[in-house]
Structure 1
Amino acid sequence: MKQFFKFVLASIVGFIVVGVIMICVVIGLIASAASDKDVTVDDNSILNISFKTAIPERTPNNPLSSLPFLGLGDDKSVGLNDILASIKKAKTDDHIKGIFLTDSYMMGGQATTEEIRNALIDFKKSKKFIIAYSEIYTQGFYYLASVADKVYINPKGIFEFRGMSSQVTFFKGALDKLGIEAQIIKVGTYKSAVEPFFLEKMSDANRLQVTAYLGSLYNQFLTCVSTSRHLSKDSLYSMANNLTIHYPADALQYKLVDGLKYKDEVLSELKKLTNTDFKKDLSSITLAEYAKDNDGKTTDDGNKSSGDQIAMIYASGEITGGDGDDNTIGSDKISAALRKVRLDDNVKAVVLRVNSPGGSSLASDVIWREVSLTKQVKPVIVSMGDYAASGGYYIACAADSIIAEPNTITGSIGIFAILPNMQKFLNGKLGITFDGVKTGKYADLGDATRPLTPEERAILQDEVNRGYGDFTNAVAKGRNKTQAYINSIGQGRVWTGEQAIKIGLVDRLGSINDAIASAAKKAKITDYKVVGYPEQKSLFKSFGSDIQSRVSTHFAKAELGESYQYYEQLKGIKQMMRTPQARLPFLTEVK
């Protein structure tokens, strides 16, 4: 027995020692990653820009991005804030001779691509070169690369130029087979987020609105490519419509690219442009490395010598209650950030950066209230990203001014709720039945084990109607329009930024920097610093709270691959069935 206890004690001690060692190793890795801040840019360098991951609004606080530790090193994304700041810095950096755009998938939305594209156009004012090369040009990457001085493609590569399409995934057939009914309560003829659950194809109203906004997006694409490549828009349309471009040689023949080259040939040209000895390697720096030296990770134009600040509040992702995270807009966290900047005398103006397809109507209203209160004491300017629709528009509409990109998706002013009726599934498929007692007629309202009664459906419809009335009233006040007019352009209809400016939902087209400049002008300041909110978690808080989420996400992505997006969307169904929602049409993908 004594030997047994010795063995157990030794095992416990060994376990503790190993645990301590592991903790020390992890802390060492964290310290090493966090301290790796010094970046040296050699003379005659090129800035190597490649986008192979999604582009968040701001760079994630993940110092372990370079370490392959349980999936923690997977997130090497550079935020849009740092991308724009880096391109702007490179414009005047004497060490940077040009930009090399290469091998990008452009997983960001079209407004994000527009921001980066315009930053590259501004970079060209420095007379420095931009060279683009890829083995595969998706339409998204080509839209970006078309601004380059030279666009090259691998002679055996792939060039996509076929127009845009929008696809919606419908679940009604699957739900019918399972015996599950989606009980829909909504307001808005065009509020099509619920259609996948009770239709097998797009409604006429939804087809009309998608055709309109997709046409607007495509017009922006063709117009900008036409300008950059000095080709007529009609010719570009004809090429895509007839699928004229099959091979790289076709792209060269029709002047969409400037040459067919292998990468070694492009690198040789870059060496020539940078006066680099052909026997030596190019001096280059990646975007992720170059971004490490960005001061405060802002895109501001201020001199930053005074104490005046413009608060940049990032509202990115689905709108939910609570704190949310880096990928969702938690009403508590965003509201707290708005209250903080509202009470801070150093903050002279606020830019609310909205990139959201919507979410909980209640959470949206909570944030709207804080935006309204902040507007009473200091200027609030909204900058719209890829999406600022439904709940995303709700939180934006109280601002002094709204600035969007022409290809921002916005509007979608409408409310809906979904309640599942799983009676046939549970009874008929699984043989499960239910019985019970209740103290009131409506005590079990919303119970998924049975269908809604006509009276219950009327109650819920009244709640959704009331929510829509609150929504349209908020927009009417914020935009100085009548509620009747907002209802006429509402009804859940989706608009692009280009369309929205014509109907009064947006004030003007522009970038994040335009919004900052507008905020500074309205606050009557010229010397300021842009400060990001909500504050990102510290290294150790982020590591401790996010490790489980990061690891599970890592393995889910590895297993599901491209199908991971559908997994994420299916997870969202649960949230949609909790509270009335103000969000975009569900599962719409523009290709």
Structure 2
Amino acid sequence: MRPPAFLIVLASILSAWAPARQATAQASVGWIEIEGALADKPSPFGWLMGEPEPTLLDVVAGIDAAADRDDVDALLLRLREPALTMTQVEEMARAVARVRDAGKPVHLFTEIYGPAELALGAACDEVILQEGGAVSFPGLHVEEMFLADTLAWLGLKMDYVQIGKYKGAEEQLGRSAPSEAWDENISQLLDSLYDAMRAPILAGRGLTERRLDRAMQEAFFASGRRAIDAGLIDAEVDRLDLPAHLEHAYGGAITYRSNLLPDGRSGPGADALANPFAIFQLLASEPDTGPTRPTIAVLDIDGPIVDGESQPAGLLGGASVGSLTIREALKRIEDEPLIKGVVVRINSPGGSAIASESIWLGLRRVAEAKPVWVSVGSMAASGGYYIAVGGEKIYLCPSSIVGSIGVVGGKLVMGGAYQKLSVNVVPRDRGPAAGLMSTLEPWTDSQRELIRERMTETYDLFVSRVQAGRPGIDIDKTAEGRLFAGQRAIEMGLADEIGGLDDAIRDLAARAGLAEGAYDVMHYPGPKSIQELIEQSLGGFGLSAPGARGDRGGGLDLAVAAMRELVGPRAWPGLRDAMAALWTLRTEPVTLTAPRVLLRR
């Protein structure tokens, strides 16, 4: 079995860097390289290619391996063009602390430091910048778009009804400026996120509030020397001199250990695809998805929540979470005796009310036989939080966003646009409510009352689910669309504990009586077969909704690519998921989503 390509490259780099070694190395430094974004779950193609990209859990496990292994004296984390979220960094920082608690120094090296990288660096012993690199830590900047005037100019209007005055559904597309309620909601949320951004820097770098204020003023875009003087980093070193820098720190030659990440390869590898006969074997093969010993299942809820099957990519390139797919996975989890507990990992702004309720029901069925806990990544809002309260215990990170207990209903009214374009539309209805979702006219008073009645029923059900899952919660102070982050969410009763996915898994395993190292972790829904992957690839180019079928024009592809480039790799996933969640309004008049587009910089 050949080693992963990045390890081959790494070995060649290290051999080029390293001078002639002494017979006995004085220190052994573990090396973990993280490139680009980290996924929470394995790629569906990973079992096929044999060289899966490391996940967040893999990286955390690798960091923990550095703490546990006797042949590792220190750890170097190397970031290459990182696109890490703040919550991922917070999870990694907890693992870094365990390495330092084991008496082993941790070094961090990259070319450009932003807020997330600095937060990770604050957990380390030494923060090293590539010579000539830059540090940028100006603060938290959010741009909210209010498009009512733009839509009116185009002859369009969003006709919204929302339950919960803080929900903010009508703000984006129905107003020209924020309402007082939304301004209050978003302002307190940003205060929490800003405090969570500063806290690790204050604690890890030993800075006072005043000195950090000065450092941020200096480091809106700072050189290495300015960042060192500001107390944000420790050293500026060219990457080719990094081995010498570490050797100087440890007093002699160093042995590098680059095998810390778990080896999850089990597939045939890319080379097998070059063999035409092997391809036919692959078409008939199935991924290995069954546990072979006691297991903790991780159920991934990653993306907007929709009815039907999950799709790997939709209109905007993001995956969707289908209720049917999740219920099938929950049935497998329920029926498998080797699975001793479930951690539901949620990164979702919400979506379909019907799908959210279906998944909640499935979780409660499993919970009758096995413990169900929840780990929140960046967000579990609206329908995402609906699912979260189906678990017994909720973990989240300091920057995780939860809440948005409210309901949205609406449609896009296009009658004005049709007139501008001289398009004559003749509606033909059969049935008393057939034209309810017509795009020609806003709702009448009676139609609006009907929608509000159904939405109130959904809201009451949502609140009852929250009260059942979070006994003692004060709905008057937490519902109606309010958003909370991290520690504030715990104080308000929406979550239980600060911790990452690995913490939830480890604690649940202990609860189930499983000794460390005596159980496996498996993600659900599991990887798909070759035939399923091909079918999804051919059918996943929808235009009308995430995962819908049809042809997608090159112009739309270019527009999506341009939007992704404009907002950047960190902001794009949130923008993509929020916009995809809004698409559910085209087919469902009532949804559980957080329909906000916030560009955080």
**Which one of the candidate residues 43, 49, 52 is aligned to 1:60?**
43
Residue in structure 2 matched with residue 465 of structure 1 by the alignment: 456
1:288-327, aligned counterparts within 5 Å?
290-293=261-264, 307-326=293-312, 327=319
Residue in structure 2 matched with residue 501 of structure 1 by the alignment: 490
Matches of 1:291 and 1:306, distance apart in 2: 18
Q: Which amino acid aligns with 1:312?
A: V
Residue in structure 1 matched with residue 275 of structure 2 by the alignment: none
Matches of 1:218 and 1:365, distance apart in 2: 33
Matches of 1:277 and 1:501, distance apart in 2: 48
* Aligned partners of 2:352 and 2:591 also within 8 Å: yes
Matches of 1:576 and 1:99, distance apart in 2: 48
- TM-score scaled to structure 2, two decimals? 0.80
* Aligned partners of 1:101 and 1:145 also within 8 Å: no
Residue in structure 2 matched with residue 584 of structure 1 by the alignment: 594
Matches of 1:62 and 1:295, distance apart in 2: 11
Shift in Å at residue 329 of structure 1? 1.7
* Aligned partners of 2:578 and 2:595 also within 8 Å: no
Residue in structure 2 matched with residue 397 of structure 1 by the alignment: 389
Structure 1 residue 574 and structure 2 residue 583: aligned? yes
1:532-543, aligned counterparts within 5 Å?
532-539=523-530, 541-542=532-533
Residue in structure 1 matched with residue 402 of structure 2 by the alignment: 410
Matches of 1:277 and 1:522, distance apart in 2: 44
1:106-255, aligned counterparts within 5 Å?
106-240=82-216, 246-255=222-231
- What do residues 465-519 of structure 1 show as CA deviations (whole Å, max 9, x unaligned)? 111111001101111237xx32431010000121111111112222223222332
Q: Which amino acid aligns with 1:414?
A: G
Residue in structure 1 matched with residue 315 of structure 2 by the alignment: none
Structure 1 residue 477 and structure 2 residue 468: aligned? yes
Distance 1:569 1:416, change over 3 A: closer
Matches of 1:94 and 1:521, distance apart in 2: 24
Structure 1 residue 50 and structure 2 residue 42: aligned? no
Distance 1:63 1:404, change over 3 A: closer
Shift in Å at residue 275 of structure 1? 8.2
Residue in structure 2 matched with residue 25 of structure 1 by the alignment: none
Matches of 2:367 and 2:581, distance apart in 1: 32
1:271-350, aligned counterparts within 5 Å?
271-272=247-248, 285=258, 290-293=261-264, 307-326=293-312, 327-350=319-342
Matches of 1:233 and 1:574, distance apart in 2: 43
Shift in Å at residue 418 of structure 1? 1.9
Shift in Å at residue 245 of structure 1? 6.9
Q: Which amino acid aligns with 2:348?
A: S
Matches of 2:329 and 2:393, distance apart in 1: 19
Residue in structure 1 matched with residue 505 of structure 2 by the alignment: 516
Matches of 1:333 and 1:65, distance apart in 2: 21
Residue in structure 2 matched with residue 23 of structure 1 by the alignment: none
Give secondary structure in 1 for the equivalent of 2:185. Answer: helix
Matches of 1:240 and 1:473, distance apart in 2: 44
Residue in structure 2 matched with residue 29 of structure 1 by the alignment: none
Q: Which amino acid aligns with 1:504?
A: G
Residue in structure 2 matched with residue 15 of structure 1 by the alignment: none
Distance 1:114 1:222, change over 3 A: same
Q: Which amino acid aligns with 1:562?
A: E
More off after superposition, 200-209 vs 265-274: 265-274
* Aligned partners of 2:300 and 2:346 also within 8 Å: yes
1:335-374, aligned counterparts within 5 Å?
335-374=327-366
Matches of 1:375 and 1:99, distance apart in 2: 40
Matches of 1:182 and 1:62, distance apart in 2: 40
Matches of 1:395 and 1:403, distance apart in 2: 14
More off after superposition, 237-246 vs 162-171: 237-246
Q: Which amino acid aligns with 1:476?
A: Q
Distance 1:587 1:337, change over 3 A: same
Matches of 1:435 and 1:480, distance apart in 2: 52
**Which one of the candidate residues 400, 415, 426 is aligned to 1:423?**
415
Give secondary structure in 2 for the equivalent of 1:395. Answer: helix
More off after superposition, 524-533 vs 162-171: 524-533
- TM-score scaled to structure 1, two decimals? 0.81
How many residue pairs get aligned? The number is 535
* Aligned partners of 2:374 and 2:394 also within 8 Å: yes
- What do residues 260-312 of structure 1 show as CA deviations (whole Å, max 9, x unaligned)? 3322332422355688869xxx857498xx4444799xxxxxxxx99432222
Structure 1 residue 377 and structure 2 residue 369: aligned? yes
Superposition RMSD on alpha carbons, in Å? 3.5
Structure with the greater alpha carbon radius of gyration: 1
Matches of 2:529 and 2:104, distance apart in 1: 38
* Aligned partners of 2:192 and 2:485 also within 8 Å: yes
* Aligned partners of 1:184 and 1:418 also within 8 Å: yes
* Aligned partners of 1:111 and 1:385 also within 8 Å: yes
Shift in Å at residue 435 of structure 1? 2.4
Matches of 2:222 and 2:137, distance apart in 1: 9
Give secondary structure in 1 for the equivalent of 2:172. Answer: helix
Shift in Å at residue 50 of structure 1? 2.8
Residue in structure 2 matched with residue 89 of structure 1 by the alignment: 65
Q: Which amino acid aligns with 2:464?
A: N
Question: Structure 1: any 5+ residue segments left out of the alignment?
Answer: 1-31, 68-72, 297-304
Q: Which amino acid aligns with 1:187?
A: I
* Aligned partners of 1:155 and 1:249 also within 8 Å: no
Give secondary structure in 2 for the equivalent of 1:256. Answer: coil
Distance 1:441 1:567, change over 3 A: same
Shift in Å at residue 522 of structure 1? 3.5
Shift in Å at residue 226 of structure 1? 1.7
Give secondary structure in 1 for the equivalent of 2:159. Answer: strand
Shift in Å at residue 448 of structure 1? 0.6
Give secondary structure in 1 for the equivalent of 2:344. Answer: strand
Matches of 1:274 and 1:66, distance apart in 2: 39
Distance 1:294 1:501, change over 3 A: farther
Structure 1 residue 563 and structure 2 residue 566: aligned? yes
Shift in Å at residue 361 of structure 1? 1.3
- What do residues 507-537 of structure 1 show as CA deviations (whole Å, max 9, x unaligned)? 2222223222332344344343322211112
Distance 1:459 1:286, change over 3 A: farther
Q: Which amino acid aligns with 1:576?
A: L
Distance 1:456 1:144, change over 3 A: same
* Aligned partners of 1:85 and 1:294 also within 8 Å: no
Distance 1:39 1:570, change over 3 A: closer
Shift in Å at residue 438 of structure 1? 3.0
Matches of 1:189 and 1:214, distance apart in 2: 18
* Aligned partners of 2:29 and 2:76 also within 8 Å: no
Matches of 1:193 and 1:158, distance apart in 2: 38
Q: Which amino acid aligns with 1:253?
A: D
Shift in Å at residue 242 of structure 1? 7.1
Matches of 1:135 and 1:306, distance apart in 2: 43
* Aligned partners of 2:34 and 2:79 also within 8 Å: yes
Question: Structure 2: any 5+ residue segments left out of the alignment?
Answer: 12-24, 268-290, 313-318, 542-551
More off after superposition, 343-352 vs 554-563: 554-563
Matches of 2:311 and 2:422, distance apart in 1: 40
Matches of 2:468 and 2:439, distance apart in 1: 38
Matches of 1:177 and 1:87, distance apart in 2: 54
Q: Which amino acid aligns with 1:350?
A: V
Matches of 2:127 and 2:400, distance apart in 1: 26
Shift in Å at residue 154 of structure 1? 3.9
More off after superposition, 579-588 vs 100-109: 100-109
Matches of 2:189 and 2:584, distance apart in 1: 27
